[in-house]
Amino acid sequence: MQKGVSTTKLYNIGVSYKKADVETRSNFSISKENQILLLNEAKQQGVKLFVLSTCNRTEITGFAEHPFKLISLLCKYSNGSVDDFVKVSSIHKTQDAVDHLFRLATGIESQILGDYEIVGQLKIAYKQAKELGTINVFLERLMNSVLQASKKVKNQTQLSSGTTSVSYAAVQYVIKNLEDYNSKNILVYGLGKMGKHTCKNLAEYTANKKVCLINRTASKVESFVEEHPAIRPAKLEDLASEIENADVLIVSTGAQTPTITASHINSDKKMLILDLSMPNNVAEGVADYKNITLINVDELSKVTDETLAKRRSEIPKAETIINVYKTEFNEWLNHRRLTPAITALKESLTTIKDDEIDFFSKKIKNFDVDQAEKITSKMIQKITTQYVKHLKDENTSVNKSIEVMSKVFGVNLDEINIDAKDN
């Protein structure tokens, strides 16, 4: 292979709700601490990427010579194995990876169609990678385009019409499955984003005045209940007694290991437990109790057909918007790829022209240098124009075409930055 030609390409690799169940996704979940370790290792190796790890998916988007480079990083910093990854993974390459990010950010790929919580998670993932130095110009431009498309889809379509999210689905599950839900003792454990939304949905969609809230950091609970006085705060050390008192336990602690174990639960007590965490924060053994109903995020993500039907009808509008932003991004990308190649070709042809004119001016008496300059410059312009048309053809492999050009005209490929830009 010609020196200077990089074979790195854009990949998006990962596992999601489409192929992996909750337990498997939990194994591939990457903690915040490990995300930072992964990004630092990538930086040391000169790898440009960002990491997204949510309850529904864990993905790495970045550049590599082979996707296994990214897969090995994912498995190293999670509890997943390469063998398991192969069974449930999705791998998107180059333009497919670009398409995937656009669909992801606009809610089309969400487990609950149109759920835009992923947008905030994408922003956090991108910001974290940028702060740690693993974002290049390509990824920066791509993410800007993706987020602009997401904003426009949300503002100009009904893809997110009707309130649906895991936290909303949890409250709806309580409403649909407990006849006297307004009189039940409900304990919410965990006050992250999911916990806050759950409390707000309980306040909005029920008349229950017996909601208790516990969080590891008590100060966060105090601040939250000041704005939501109907919720009763409790201390972490009272968790066991509050669970004993609860009819419904909603767990949204977001820890890497279970925060609710079998020892917390009275096996004789009838209780509904909703685990909104990823990985699961309720230990498996709890489900074995005959009086306990344990529901996880996959079951909660089954929203009504009516809502989904309305949202599905909006997908074509969303895709039209996506195509506009994808086209703009690809035009920028093509310009970025083609300009150095065209410049290099033009410079190579100009050098040949100058050498030949110098040769003939010495060889032929009264050789008209000015006329030769005009004719050959015109020829160079026509050749480069034709080459531009060739490179812009959708059936052209840009990297291969530039390699051929380098062999024919002796262009120095080290001067051409085509790294990871071939769609």
> Which residues are designated catalytic?
55
Single-letter code of the amino acid located at 236: L
Instruction: Give 252's contacts (C-beta < 8 A, 6+ positions apart).
Output: 167, 188, 189, 190, 191, 192, 194, 195, 198, 276, 277, 281
Alpha carbon distance 105, 356 (integer Å) = 55
Inter-residue contact 283 to 261 (CB < 8 Å): yes
Tell me how far apart the alpha carbons of residues 423 and 399 are, in angstroms, rounded to a whole number. 10
DSSP string spanning 86-115?
HHHEEEEETHHHHHHHHHHHTTTTSSSTT-
- Report the distance separating Cα 43 and Cα 63, nearest Å: 12
**Residues 6+ away with beta carbon under 8 Å from 65:** 6, 7, 8, 9
For residue 190, give the nearest of 260, 247, 241 by alpha carbon.
260
The length of the chain, given as a count of residues: 423
How far apart are the C-alpha atoms of 300 and 171, rounded to whole Å? 9
- Terminal CA-CA length for the chain: 19
Give every CB contact of residue 294 below 8 A, 6+ residues apart in sequence.
273, 275, 282, 286, 287
